[in-house]
Structure 1
Amino acid sequence: MRITALSKELGVSAMTVRRDIADLADKGLLKRVHGGAVTTSTLLSEPLFSVKSQMDIGLKDAIAQEAVKYVAPGDVIAIGGGTTAYVFAQHLLESQRASGITILTNSIPVAELVQALESKDVEVIVTGGVITRSNSLVGPIADKVIESLRVNTVFLGTHSVSLPRGFLMPNSLEAATDMAMMGIADKTIILTDHTKWSCTSLSLFARFDQVDTLITDDGLNVASVAETRKLVKELVLTHQTGLAQDEQ
Structure 2
Amino acid sequence: MISSQRQHLILSRLRTRGAVRITALSKELGVSAMTIRRDIAELADKGLLKRVHGGAVTTSTLLSEPLFSVKSQMDIGLKDAIAQEAIKYVAPGDVIAIGGGTTAYVFAQHLLESQQSSGITILTNSIPVAELVQALESKDVEVIVTGGVITRSNSLVGPIADKVVASLRVNTVFLGTHSVSIPRGFLMPNSLEAATDMAMMDIADRTIVLTDHTKWSCTSLSLFARFDQVDTVITDDGLDPDSAAKTKDLVKELVLAHQSETIEESE
TM-score by length of 1: 0.83
Cα distance in 1 for residues equivalent to 2:246 and 2:59:
30
Secondary structure, counterpart of 1:240 in structure 2: coil
Report if aligned partners of 1:28, 1:46 keep a CA contact under 8 Å in 2: no
Q: Is 1:146 aligned to 2:165, yes or no? A: yes
Q: Is 1:24 aligned to 2:15, yes or no? A: yes
The C-alpha deviation readout for 1:64-104, integer Å capped at 9, x for no partner, is 01000000000000000000000000000000000000000
Report if aligned partners of 2:181, 2:216 keep a CA contact under 8 Å in 1: yes
Q: Which amino acid aligns with 1:24?
A: R
Cα distance in 1 for residues equivalent to 2:72 and 2:210:
14
Moved over 3 A (4+): 25-30, 39-43
> Superposition pairs for residues 191-206 of structure 1, below 5 Å?
191-206=210-225
Q: Is 1:228 aligned to 2:247, yes or no? A: yes
Q: Is 1:177 aligned to 2:196, yes or no? A: yes
Cα distance in 2 for residues equivalent to 1:191 and 1:105:
15
* Equivalent position to 2:230, from 196, 211, 217: 211
Q: 1:24 to 1:115 in 2, by over 3 A?
A: same
Q: Which amino acid aligns with 2:166?
A: E
* Equivalent position to 2:111, from 92, 95, 107: 92
Structure-1 residue corresponding to 2:129: 110
Q: 1:40 to 1:198 in 2, by over 3 A?
A: closer
Cα distance in 2 for residues equivalent to 1:40 and 1:62:
26
Cα distance in 1 for residues equivalent to 2:59 and 2:241:
31
Q: 1:238 to 1:26 in 2, by over 3 A?
A: closer
Cα distance in 1 for residues equivalent to 2:19 and 2:213:
21
Structure-2 residue corresponding to 1:246: none
| Deviation of the 1:24 alpha carbon | 2.0
Cα distance in 2 for residues equivalent to 1:160 and 1:208:
13
Q: Is 1:77 aligned to 2:96, yes or no? A: yes
Q: Which amino acid aligns with 1:214?
A: V
Cα distance in 2 for residues equivalent to 1:173 and 1:105:
15
Cα distance in 2 for residues equivalent to 1:161 and 1:235:
13
Structure-1 residue corresponding to 2:78: 59
Aligned residues: 218
Q: 1:87 to 1:219 in 2, by over 3 A?
A: same
| Deviation of the 1:42 alpha carbon | 5.0
Cα distance in 1 for residues equivalent to 2:63 and 2:238:
25
Q: 1:236 to 1:49 in 2, by over 3 A?
A: same
Q: Which amino acid aligns with 2:64?
A: S
Cα distance in 2 for residues equivalent to 1:25 and 1:173:
26
Secondary structure, counterpart of 1:158 in structure 2: coil
Q: Which amino acid aligns with 1:199?
A: C
Structure-1 residue corresponding to 2:183: 164
| Deviation of the 1:213 alpha carbon | 0.4
Q: Which amino acid aligns with 1:102?
A: T
What do you get for the CA RMSD once the two structures are aligned? 2.1
TM-score by length of 2: 0.77
Cα distance in 1 for residues equivalent to 2:62 and 2:84:
30
Cα distance in 1 for residues equivalent to 2:227 and 2:60:
25
Cα distance in 2 for residues equivalent to 1:225 and 1:28:
26
